[in-house]
A = this chain, B = another copy of it.
């Protein structure tokens, strides 16, 4: 299987290119970039990278990076004794926080949280909630509901009398919508910035 080291170097250059432009170049540009004068060489390289799982192709035949494409050399992490388990699972598969939190950009809205009615759920005044606009919500979801023309963030719950919007702060009362319950969206993420 060729020069694996060479391939790693090539992959690095492609990663750099992607970092600059946020998409992968065409075969001929890959050639320029890597110093390969012929497209057959590029073609062979791409095949190897695809086999190794670093790139893939979109429904049309374009090159697209896979999750593995974004893995960084482990050596880059000087791991001291018991490094705080660098968020390795789901997060490391994502290119960015954006990618991690938002699955469907067009349906997602960010909303700044006002008030402390959800403070016991770890949602503070000033935090940003990532809300996915959809009407179906499950019990237990934190939802943005529309009550009397006002938007409010609460946990969706229900009891014998019907749906209840539960705050997470003993100082607040549960809300029982009289006129049916309108759900604006479901909270899928939280972002907080310190200072």
| Known contacts A12-B106, A21-B58, A95-B22: A75-B193 contact under CB 8 Å | no
| Residue on B nearest A118 in the bound complex, by CB | B122
| Known contacts A76-B112, A190-B192: A19-B59 contact under CB 8 Å | no
By Cβ-Cβ distance, the 5 closest A-B pairs, closest first, are: A12-B106, A81-B149, A15-B105, A77-B114, A190-B192
Question: Inside 8 A of A1's CB, which chain B residues have their CB?
Answer: none
- In the bound complex, CA of A12 to CA of B82 (Å): 42
One complex includes copies of this chain to the number of 2
Question: Inside 8 A of A40's CB, which chain B residues have their CB?
Answer: none
- A170-195 residues at the B interface, CB under 8 angstroms: 184, 186-195
- In the bound complex, CA of A184 to CA of B83 (Å): 10
B149 touches A82 (CB 8 A): yes
Question: Inside 8 A of A83's CB, which chain B residues have their CB?
Answer: 151
Q: Which of B16, B82, B89, B142 contacts A104 (CB 8 A)?
A: B16
- In the bound complex, CA of A94 to CA of B24 (Å): 18
A194 touches B184 (CB 8 A): no
| Interface of A: prevailing SS | mixed
| Known contacts A19-B105, A112-B75: A188-B194 contact under CB 8 Å | yes
Question: Inside 8 A of A113's CB, which chain B residues have their CB?
Answer: 77
- The reply to whether the CB of A91 lies closer than 8 angstroms to some CB of chain B is yes
| Residue on B nearest A100 in the bound complex, by CB | B193
A75 touches B109 (CB 8 A): yes
- The reply to whether the CB of A7 lies closer than 8 angstroms to some CB of chain B is no
- In the bound complex, CA of A95 to CA of B85 (Å): 28
Question: Inside 8 A of A43's CB, which chain B residues have their CB?
Answer: none
- The reply to whether the CB of A74 lies closer than 8 angstroms to some CB of chain B is yes
